[in-house]
Amino acid sequence: MASVANFRSGVAEAALDLFTDAGYDPTSVDDIALAAGISRSTFFRQFRAKEDVIFADHEALLAELTVYLAASHPDPWEAVCQAAVLVFVKFSEHRKLAQKRYHVVQAVPALRDRETIMVSRYERLFSDYLRRALPGIATLDAIRFAAAVTSTHNYVLREMMLDSPRGSLQNLEHELQAVRRIFGVLPKEDPASKPAEDDLVVAVFSRSTPAAEIARRIQSELDGRSA
């Protein structure tokens, strides 16, 4: 699987170099195959068309995130934020290539439309996960949180593409914390700061905290006290 991903990444890099130097429309599949050192038939075994090359890494990332979110996570809201962080880290590790892709996509309206569809797939993945991980959560709460996390990630990523100091991992983590604060789903306080065990459980939540998250936290407290 890794070798296939590396192969696709190599073809994508060759294609982006061509798109950057010669332009997207003038570059043909034959040009890409020649630059990548592969045959035309080999190209079409991996990609349906040349626009697929640009988003090859997104397909790999979506598959990776699907596996990540299929695992058990104690805090589903944090899991979604960490999934966004994983995407950011992947792009930052190949920053120059990501910047080339960004500029090519921005110059071609059809690619911008394709990117919008790709973003919606991340949002759907996140919202579907929240609905599975938090039974009873309102569908719109899951959609809103997923959209906010994705939009925040994309803003900071765009800043990174433009070499802005706001485009850093530290800033992304800070802004994702702000998203959690807005939605009333910040992490629980450190257990060490809580009073000794008692029969009385007092819980205070923001009005914006989704009902499913309130139920999850109260159940978590009860489970912990009965352990």
Domain segments of the chain as ranges: 1-54, 55-227
Q: Give the percent of the chain with pLDDT over 90.
A: 69
Distance CA 166, CA 112 (A): 23
Asked whether 71 and 65 are in contact (CB, 8 A), the reply is: no
Q: Which amino acid is at 214?
A: I
List C-alpha distances in Å: 19 to 79, 117, 166, 191, 221: 36, 21, 27, 54, 55
Given this model, what pLDDT does residue 127 score? 98
126-140: pLDDT as tens digits: 999 999 999 999 999
What pLDDT shows up at residue 220? 79
What's the confidence (pLDDT) of residue 60?
Answer: 85
Q: Is 210 within 8 Å of 135 (Cβ atoms)?
A: no
Q: Which of 50-59, 105-114, 156-165 has the lowest mean pLDDT?
A: 50-59
- The terminus-to-terminus CA distance of the chain in angstroms comes to 42
**Residue 102: pLDDT over 70:** yes
Tell me what pLDDT residue 201 has.
64
**Exposed/middle/buried for residue 36 (C-beta within 10 Å: 0-12, 13-18, 19+):** buried
Q: How far is CA 148 from the centre of its chain?
A: 11
SS3 199: coil
Decide if pLDDT at 56 tops 90: no
- As a whole number, the mean pLDDT across the chain is 89
Show the DSSP H helices in 94-200 as ranges: 95-107, 109-133, 139-161, 169-183
Looking at residue 194, the DSSP 8-state letter turns out to be S
Distance CA 66, CA 77 (A): 15
Q: Looking at mean pLDDT, say which of 97-101, 119-123, 198-202 comes out highest.
A: 119-123
User: If you compute the radius of gyration of the chain from its CA atoms, what whole number of angstroms results?
Assistant: 21
Position 20 pLDDT exceeds 70: yes
- pLDDT, tens digit (0-9, with 9 covering 90-100), for 163-173: 999 999 999 99
Q: Which amino acid is at 48?
A: R
pTM: 0.79
Q: Is domain 1-54 in CATH 1.10.10.60, yes or no?
A: yes
Yes or no: domain 55-227 corresponds to CATH 1.10.357.10 = yes
Q: Token pair for residue 88?
A: 């950011």
Give the number of C-alpha atoms closer than 13 A to the C-alpha of residue 115, restricted to the C-beta side: 17
Longest Cα–Cα distance in the chain: 73
Whole-number Å distance between alpha carbons of 58 and 193: 42
Half-sphere exposure of 58 (CA within 13 A, CB side): 18
Structure confidence at residue 197 (pLDDT):
52
Residue 214: band (very low, low, confident or very high) from pLDDT cuts 50, 70, 90: confident
